[in-house]
Structure 1
Amino acid sequence: MTDFEPAAHLPDEMLERFRERAAIHDRENTFPDQDLAELKAAGYLSILVPVELGGGGLGMAEASVLQQRLAGAAPATALAVNMHLVWTGVAKVLSDRGVDALRFVQEGAVAGEVFAFGISEAGNDLVLFGSETDAAPQPDGAYAFTGTKIFTSLAPVWTQLGLHGLDATSADAPKLVYAFVPRSDAVVTRDDWDTLGMRGTQSRTTELHGALAPPDRVVRRIDPGPNPDPMVFGIFSVFELLLASVYTGIARRALDLAVETAGRRRSKKTGKAYSQDPDIRWRIADMALAYDALPAELAALSRDVDTLADHGARWFSLLAGIKHRAVTMAKRVVDDAVLVAGGSSYFSASELSRLYRDVLAGLFHPSDPESAHSTVASAWLGPVQD
């Protein structure tokens, strides 16, 4: 990362435009089309694609830093773009390990395609290990998908939806099928995204009515359940690391706002800035102590993915753990920033008010607190005995 300059990919003036628009998209519950257009023009959607294919040639470690930076300006924009970057990141993880099944994703990202993430299903706590969506095999090797996906970020703009479903009819069934479907009349996007925070992601519900994935877009057929397949590792690693990056970026922005506010507010009692108040100083120090661990941990674990480090069976607990720590840390930091800022942060026009609502979304992404604790417990104690 010696030649890596985050500001070259996300200039300060661009981020200020994003920050100004973030308040509008939050208030009006709209998608940040202008942000996406600027990111596209800057080549941001292909930062994880190799240079030889026309991309930025960055690794996960650099992408993590950039997503932290983007989230500090516009959390919803960062989270929405995350879902596209997940697929380009998975393509990189697979190709780095000798699997070229997602080269079309890399080429598509360079050509302007926007990839969405269609894995989540209501009530499906198996996540990557199972699906309620029916994947019906077709005579030519294609698959028709029927089911409902939730939290489909980038809903108004995606051109390709990466998803999974269960093939229950083939001779070797059951098989989980990973594939990509284009927009068509067989895909219905509900206009149902009216949430507490992260409103700009427009992560709407997606109905699939026989949506067809062509044979060359059917990328993996694997057994349901926990699986060492590189597709599962690729999705889990990239998803968790980039999610952790977004919420770490939110925490940094909240910390910066708390410092700024403490220097600006003055006590009527003492006449001094709140930055000189021992209680405020302790609170901000506590926020910084919580935040400081995450960027370094993200950098280390992202580099391990980039360099093909072998953590064996510990990988999943490490990845679930960093996502859990990032989102719980971020919520705590934002909570304290609101206290430092005082009553002004309670008004909806306050940036901290928006961050307070946005940060709550982190608890709902996989791995949720229960899943993370279960994964880590199994790593240290072994599986629960029957």
Structure 2
Amino acid sequence: MKLTDFNTTEERIEALKEKIVPFIERAQKHDEDGTFPFENFNDLKEIGYPALTIPTEYGGLGISLYEMLRMQETIAKVDGSTALSIGWHMGITKYLGENQIWNEEKYAAFAQDVLKTGALLNNAATEPATGSPTRGGRPETSAKKTTDGWVLNGRKTFTTLAPILDYFVVSASIEASDKVGNFLIKREKNGVEIEETWDSIAMRGTGSHDLVLENVHVNNDDLVQYLTPGNKPAAGWLLHIPACYLGIARAAQEYAIDFASNYSPNSIEGTISDLPNVKQKIGEMELRFMQSQHFLYSVARKWDESSEETREEMKPELGAVKLSVVNQAVEIVDLAMRITGARSLSKQNPLQRYYRDVRAGIHNPPMDDMTIIQLASTSIARQVDSK
């Protein structure tokens, strides 16, 4: 049964929970082996998950940002790598469709591929020399105009979902101009190669390998967007990042509570959950989770209900959510490990994976320093304007 067959958000989330139960055991195996969870994505395709953010006018369900984040958090609770990976496809697909970024015919063709086959897409923007694209570096990947299209050459790092992507949205500098464009490249194009470089100790199952382009020919209309450096619009869809790490934190919290409720050393009566110092940590975890959950989902609802003008004013809020939720998630996992003790470092214990995975969020965009500077500028401007 497809998720589109259900009428409400809660029904779809319950169906999703049932489908992803096997992800729990697979997560440990893929983490240990450093392999990609193809079977997880096949399961998500079976229930039509990749198409949920396709707008209704293109045949999808057009779910709200709030619902998308709820679902992403649900997946992350069982496998952070899978959640973060599919989150990029879900968010970008939503953003492109709602804002009509591409030529309508181009997006419609892509949307049909997602609906029929579960085709997956992600941006390929990061490069060794430029670092994160949020820092504004000009791509070294080049696009040269030909009589019938473009030829692209370059290398992209951190291409999440690389083993299974059907489409790459590649940023490239256009030769003989100061322009930068996004080019849509299908996986089967000659000259497209994946170099398996992903050796991170965190989010090992994301398959974030290097994308190598060698004389890749694309059509004229595969230049889908011109980019304006330093002028990025507000991106509510990027809240899939904190939603992912909140899910990981919830998994760690529940593991620690289960452990504390059942562990009874012979030095005490009852279980360690009765001890004041353990209760203190459990309470601190719950407080951090409540704060994060309310912040994340209140901003998501505001985004869903706001005009485009209001959304553009939400950049500081969006950055603040990411910073706050991710750092709270790191603290929740740390508290869970303090409750569980040294056994949390066992290779067989999921807490050590949660610990490694949750720290990856610190390095996802936007970066903490950029967010703090933006918040400072907003605060100063507000104070000046009020006088």
TM-score (norm 1): 0.88
- Whether contact under 8 Å (2:139, 2:171) holds in the other structure is no
Aligned partner of 1:305 in structure 2 is 303
Superposition pairs for residues 324-363 of structure 1, below 5 Å? 324-363=323-362
SS at match of 1:330: helix
Aligned partner of 1:374 in structure 2 is 373
User: How far apart are residue 276 of structure 1 and its match?
Assistant: 1.1
Per-residue CA distance 1:208-237 (angstroms, 9 max, x = gap): 22333422232211332x22xxxx426x43
Aligned partner of 1:28 in structure 2 is 33
d(CA) in 1 for partners of 2:129, 2:146: 31
More deviation, 131-140/288-297: 131-140
Superposition pairs for residues 84-233 of structure 1, below 5 Å? 84-95=89-100, 100=104, 102-112=107-117, 113-124=119-130, 127-128=133-134, 129-139=136-146, 142-169=149-176, 173-183=177-187, 184-224=189-229, 226-227=230-231, 232-233=232-233
Per-residue CA distance 1:287-318 (angstroms, 9 max, x = gap): 11111122222222223333343336642222
Aligned partner of 2:384 in structure 1 is none
Aligned partner of 1:269 in structure 2 is 267
- Whether contact under 8 Å (1:53, 1:107) holds in the other structure is yes
d(CA) in 1 for partners of 2:351, 2:223: 43
Per-residue CA distance 1:178-226 (angstroms, 9 max, x = gap): 22111233222111112212111110111222333422232211332x2
* Letter of the structure 2 residue corresponding to residue 70 of structure 1: I
d(CA) in 2 for partners of 1:373, 1:133: 29
1:38 aligns with 2:38: no
- Whether contact under 8 Å (2:60, 2:115) holds in the other structure is yes
RMSD (Å) for aligned C-alpha atoms: 2.5
Gaps of 5+ in 1: none
Superposition pairs for residues 245-256 of structure 1, below 5 Å? 245-256=243-254
User: How far apart are residue 350 of structure 1 and its match?
Assistant: 0.6
1:321 aligns with 2:320: yes
User: How far apart are residue 345 of structure 1 and its match?
Assistant: 1.1
d(CA) in 2 for partners of 1:10, 1:168: 49
1:65 aligns with 2:65: no
User: How far apart are residue 154 of structure 1 and its match?
Assistant: 0.9
d(CA) in 1 for partners of 2:151, 2:192: 11
Report percent identity of matched pairs.
24
Distance 1:81 1:222, change over 3 A: closer
- Whether contact under 8 Å (1:131, 1:164) holds in the other structure is no
1:237 aligns with 2:236: yes
Gaps of 5+ in 2: 1-5, 382-387
TM-score (norm 2): 0.88
Distance 1:104 1:135, change over 3 A: farther
- Whether contact under 8 Å (1:161, 1:182) holds in the other structure is yes
d(CA) in 1 for partners of 2:183, 2:341: 49
1:5 aligns with 2:10: yes
User: How far apart are residue 71 of structure 1 and its match?
Assistant: 0.1
Q: How many residues align?
A: 372
- Whether contact under 8 Å (1:43, 1:56) holds in the other structure is no
d(CA) in 1 for partners of 2:216, 2:370: 30
